[in-house]
Amino acid sequence: MGFVQGASASAASGADRHTNRVPTNPRLWKLIVLQAKMKFKTYPNPAASHWVHEQYVQHGGQFAKDNSKTREAMAQKHRHDKEREKHQAKSEKTKQLEKGGKKNDNEKD
């Protein structure tokens, strides 16, 4: 009886507000979920889920509506991050090899 005319029950209760929301930083989300699994005896449960959500938001995480464009953008960002990590690891190896090679060049036989 206390609902706004024309509004659905779920919209009036606020249930729609959080449905179909995905974390925009999947790496941070997974890290916090792993922490929750260690912290709580059973996961998932309402208290653990609430804790994960709070921690995610406190650490700067945001949520976006779950649609195909959002999922594709997140997947593309994830692929880009993986490629960048590979490139950084490769350049670190190259730097280490160069340093090692310079020592060998300066050594006498």
How high is the pLDDT of residue 35?
96
pTM of the predicted structure, to 2 decimals: 0.48
Higher pLDDT, 108 or 8: 108
Eight-class DSSP state of 66: -
Is the pLDDT confidence value at 107 over 70? no
How do strand 21-23 and strand 63-65 relate by DSSP bridges? antiparallel
Question: Average pLDDT for residues 1-23, to the nearest whole number?
Answer: 57
Whole-number Å distance between alpha carbons of 58 and 60: 5
* Bridge partners for 22 per DSSP: 64
Contact 42, 33 (CB under 8 A): no
Summarised one tens digit per residue, pLDDT across range 18-50 is 567 889 999 999 999 999 999 999 999 999 999
Q: Kindly report the number of other CB atoms within 10 A of residue 69's CB atom.
A: 10
Whether 57 contacts 49, CB under 8 Å: no
Q: What is the pLDDT of residue 7?
A: 46
Q: What beta strand segments (E) does the chain contain?
A: 21-23, 63-65
Q: Could you state, in order of their start, the residue ranges of all structural domains in the chain?
A: 19-65, 67-109
